[in-house]
Amino acid sequence: MAHKFPKYKFKADEPISCEEINYNLRQVKDEVSGRLNEHNIKENAFTDRSDAEYDFTLHVNNEVVSFDPALAGEYASGSLSSAAIGSYPEEYLIAPDPYTDDRVTLSNNSEWQTIIQYEKYTGNSLLWVLASFQQQLYEAGVGDSAAGQYAIRIDGVIVDETVTGGLDRANDPYGESTRCQAYPYVLDLILPVTPGYHLIELVGRVPMEGDYVQPPGDTYINIFNRELIILTLDPESEAVDGDTNNFAPLVEGDAITGAIMRAPFDSIKDDMNSLDYPAIQPESLTAVHVPTTVVNSGYLAMGQSVTSTYTNFYYRYDDDTINAVTGWQYIGDGTTTLFLDTITPIDLSSVTIAGILVGVDIHVTHIDSDPGANFFESYAIIGVQFRDEVGAWHTLGKTERYVNSEGEFAVVSYPVRKNIGLRTFITIDDIIPYSEVTGLAVVVAVINRDALFTHPVTVTLQQGSLWFAAVQAGS
């Protein structure tokens, strides 16, 4: 490890001893056999990611369920007409599955239940777990107080720090859960783990209501779009057989010729010129040596003091349309738009690029409704669009997240003050038949589900950001 020095300097009038030559050469040979470390490798020695195994430092896995909540009145199966939905929207948004679908409805028995899970084999690694999901609450009775509580569970153990709400209801009878009707949660966790298989789960439960009463049976907490992203830092290394260039020591009696001398030197030269994985001491290189695994990244933020309003109606799930009346609009504050169209193309068909980690956070200040509408049915929806290699923009349905006004009937302008958070990992599976991502943008739309396109809704946004990081990683 570290710097190693030949011991003997060859000086005039000293015998040409094969033992000392061998000793000197062996110092180098020994070191290259697996003890090279941070001190032997020059700063920024590996500037090209292709110099290293693409999965040497990071694995990314994601489990995702994309679900159409029929916000605009169409059901994912397409079996119902929009007119019927307009009359009884909550049946499709809220009620348990009359049709086969992928929603998760939490049982009301206060037990933790799995929403989405992934099992990952790791080494002595650091897990970064991100969970991003859409909650929708429905309760039939007036005055009920049911709400959801969520957490990340690792190998069957809830990590307390990830639990939403409080752990102590004695100080706040409603404190265990955060009561929101429509709310997109983001949880994340960084945790060191030991080698082996690890079950990573996003879990949820419905705590008792404030009066210690189990929520009524017609209270449903549904989870629609949901994604569990697992980044494994310093993953388990695969066994690699290194090339062995046998070192042939000089022996007494060998002729002092160039050919004889070259043999041991060549074995070292060959090692040095083709350093392989086993030559480096595990975990000894640092960020000063290796290239970043972030292939491409970007960040945009809207200002704190400027608000912007949007009235464009949400058209349907996973729709691409940009339209000021019915369709999406890009989000901006007049100065900055959360719209990145100058990204160096990211080829997700490459085996070395695992995908693009994307984060969006938007603050919703108000949702204003038409006086004639049911205000709590007013929704603001955001989503992420990507631009393909030919320049067309596409919405990723799995990224759609929304909040509702939860307003009272007589209040037209309701201060929502909610954040819409989103984390997603875009892979080649998300963009097929395309292969490249050349742009990313955040879009917004509104809808009043009570009467769909007839009741105008205005959402006011303030502050927001979009960031992405395309990563070279294994899985």
Partner 1 sequence: MSNGQLVTDILPLRVETDGFLAPAKFAARIENMVATSDGTLLSVIGPSRYDPHYDEAAWGELHGIYHCLLMGGTRDVLLIQDGGYIRVHKGWSQSWAALVGPEGSGAHIESTIHDHAGIQFPLQCESTPTGVVIVPQGGRAFFYDGEVILPLGYDRVPGAPLSLGPESSGPSSTQANDVGYALNRTDSAGYQIYQHFGYGRVGTGFYTTMADGTGGIDSAGGVNHGRYQYAYQWVDYFGNVSPTSPRSATVDISTQFGAGDKPEKFLKQLVVQNLEDGPVGTIGKDISRTKDLINSGTADLFSIPTNVGGAVLSTYATVPDNVSRRYPDNVPDAWLTRKPLMPRAVPQFKLCRFAYGRLWIGNTTSDPGILIPSQQGRYGTFLAEDEMFPDAQGAELTGIWLTQQGMLAMTETSTYLISMDETGQRFRSGTLDPGKGAAAPSSFANMPDGSCIWMGRDGFYQYQNGKIEYISEDIRDDFLTVNTARMKQATACYDPTYREYRCWVPINGERKNSLCFVYNGTGWTRRTDISANQVCVTKDHRKYCLAVGTAVNSSSVAKKGVWLLDHENQNFTPQDRTATIETGWLEPFRSDEKKSPVEMNLWLRESHNSIATVTTYRDWRKTNPVVTDTSRATMVLQADIPPLYNTTLYGQAGLPNQFVKRRAFWKKVPIDIPGAEVYKIKITTTARLEFIGVRFRERVHPGTGRQE
**Which residues contact partner 1 (rule: CB under 8 A)?**
1-19, 21, 35, 37-43, 45, 159-161, 163, 166-168, 170-175, 210, 250-258, 260-261, 281-284, 288-289
Q: Which one, 60 or 131, has the nearer CB to partner 1?
A: 131
Produce one character per residue of 102-118: b if its CB has 16 or more CB atoms within 10 Å, e if not: ebbbbebeeebeebbeb
Q: Which one, 18 or 95, has the nearer CB to partner 1?
A: 18
Smallest distance from partner 1 to CB 413, Å: 25
> Which of 399, 389, 398 has the alpha carbon at shortest distance from 466?
399
Smallest distance from partner 1 to CB 38, Å: 6
Smallest distance from partner 1 to CB 37, Å: 6
Give the largest Cα separation in the chain, rounded.
106
Q: Which one, 19 or 270, has the nearer CB to partner 1?
A: 19
> Which of 440, 400, 419 has the alpha carbon at shortest distance from 133?
400
Rounded Cα gap, residues 167 and 159, in angstroms: 12
Q: Which one, 39 or 429, has the nearer CB to partner 1?
A: 39
Smallest distance from partner 1 to CB 30, Å: 8
CB 73 within 8 A of CB 86: yes
Alpha helices in 333-427 (DSSP H): none
Smallest distance from partner 1 to CB 284, Å: 5
Rounded Cα gap, residues 247 and 266, in angstroms: 9
Length of the chain in residues, anyone?
Answer: 475
CB 343 within 8 A of CB 298: yes
Q: Which one, 261 or 451, has the nearer CB to partner 1?
A: 261
Give the bridge partners for 436, in sequence order.
Answer: 347
Report CA 151 to chain centroid distance, whole Å: 16
Smallest distance from partner 1 to CB 286, Å: 8
Q: Which one, 163 or 457, has the nearer CB to partner 1?
A: 163
Smallest distance from partner 1 to CB 379, Å: 27
Q: CA of 214: how far to CAs of 70, 150, 174, 251, in Å?
A: 29, 17, 13, 86
Q: Which one, 406 or 450, has the nearer CB to partner 1?
A: 406
Q: Which one, 264 or 332, has the nearer CB to partner 1?
A: 264
Sign of CA dihedral 352, 354, 356, 357: negative
Smallest distance from partner 1 to CB 223, Å: 23
CB 113 within 8 A of CB 205: yes
